[in-house]
Amino acid sequence: MTDLRKLRADVKRLIKIGEANYQKRCDQDPYGTLTAVNLRSGEVTQRRFKRPPADREQYAIIYHDARDLLLKHGYEKQLDPKVQKLYFELIPDSEQFLRERESTLKKLSSKDKKIRLEAAKYVDNKARAAFRMEQWLRHPTTVETLINALQKEEDPGVCENLVRGLGGIYWSYFSDLRILPELERAWDSQHKRVVDAAIRWGAGINRPEFWTRVCDMLGNKLSQQRLQLLLHAIKRDTPVKWKRRLQPLLISQWNAKLNRESKASLAATILNTADERTVDGLRELLDGMKGLKTALKDRSKYLTTERNKFLNAKLKL
């Protein structure tokens, strides 16, 4: 259980530190110096540059650490309503969030499907961007608004983009536990693209609910596209319990009509399930499957020498 009194004190201390750091930032020379060294000649050059205005960085400098501490204890480690209340008491909204709340987030409740779709696509694109500059996505109200929109939405295109947006936020910005049930529910959608989006963003989450769904899907006939999505979620660090359950299911997919790329991906994924604790069981499952063992041997060549030797010896490839 979180000690609210201590947490409140820690947050206030972090805000004071942030305020002091911001004051130092304001007192800095508005110009800085970049030093570059030519690795060939050894020549050293210096160039002056103008720092961005201090007020642009004010919110991040003052509140970043305090905000993250409250989000961790209120939304990411567990959902704690008392900590969530403390967040809204102590952390003000940034200008960026207020701007997006009045534009993008408000559009998600529009009666016009085109406007909702535009807003959902915008969230998806921002959540998946290479540079993580969209701190309005790391906000409880943003997630709450997206979840409410998804629960009410009937258009599959809007739903797909909302699922992708929530998944992108979970992995890149804010591992809000409220997102997980929504990703899981999306697996039950009647629309293929919504389900595929849920698989892409949910299958790699290390929770029993998601691994159960991965196993259930692998036990049925799959399109090559959906199979690839599921394979992408199975890594070498997948829990041992699920590796053991996945091995016979993955092997059962080998005889499906797959192109060369899909077969190579399937072979690589089967190898991902092999470690010291699971390799003996996998060897028994491969008994008599000459074609698959040949494919596994070919894929093992792309691994490290040590890993290659281990697999070939243990699996008798």
C-alpha angle with apex 119: 115 to 123, nearest 5 degrees?
A: 170
Nearest-angstrom CA–CA distance, 216 and 208:
12
Mean pLDDT of the chain: 94
Residue appearing with tokens 């849920």: 198
Provide the whole-model pTM: 0.86
**Contact status, residue 150 vs residue 159, Cβ threshold 8 Å:** yes
Phi, psi of 207, rounded to the nearest 5 degrees: -135, 145
Take residue 149 and report the two structure tokens written for it. 């929109």
Q: Which amino acid does the sequence have at 244?
A: R
Contacts of 124 by beta carbon, 8 Å cutoff, 6+ apart: 161, 162, 164, 165, 168
Residue appearing with tokens 């008599």: 288
pLDDT score for 306: 94
- pLDDT-derived band at 25 (thresholds 50, 70, 90) equals confident
**Contact status, residue 201 vs residue 169, Cβ threshold 8 Å:** no
- pLDDT-derived band at 143 (thresholds 50, 70, 90) equals very high
Nearest-angstrom CA–CA distance, 294 and 47:
58
Residues facing 31 on adjacent strands: 50
DSSP 3-state assignment of 23?
A: helix
DSSP 3-state assignment of 34?
A: strand
Q: Which amino acid does the sequence have at 282?
A: L
pLDDT in tens, 246-270: 999 999 999 899 999 999 999 999 9
pLDDT in tens, 156-176: 999 999 999 999 999 999 999
- For residue 222, CA distances in Å to 14, 198, 227 come to 51, 16, 6
- pLDDT-derived band at 106 (thresholds 50, 70, 90) equals very high
Take residue 269 and report the two structure tokens written for it. 């994924």
Domain 93-202 has CATH 1.25.10.10: yes
Residues facing 48 on adjacent strands: 33
pLDDT in tens, 203-221: 778 889 899 999 999 999 9
Nearest-angstrom CA–CA distance, 292 and 288:
9
Nearest-angstrom CA–CA distance, 216 and 152:
27
- For residue 290, CA distances in Å to 20, 159, 268, 286, 287 come to 68, 44, 16, 8, 8
**Contact status, residue 192 vs residue 200, Cβ threshold 8 Å:** no
Nearest-angstrom CA–CA distance, 15 and 21:
10
Nearest-angstrom CA–CA distance, 186 and 103:
26
Q: Which amino acid does the sequence have at 6?
A: K
Q: Is the pLDDT of residue 202 over 90?
A: no
Nearest to 202 by CA among 179, 219, 221: 179
Nearest-angstrom CA–CA distance, 183 and 148:
13
Handedness of CA 230, 144, 147, 136 (dihedral sign): negative
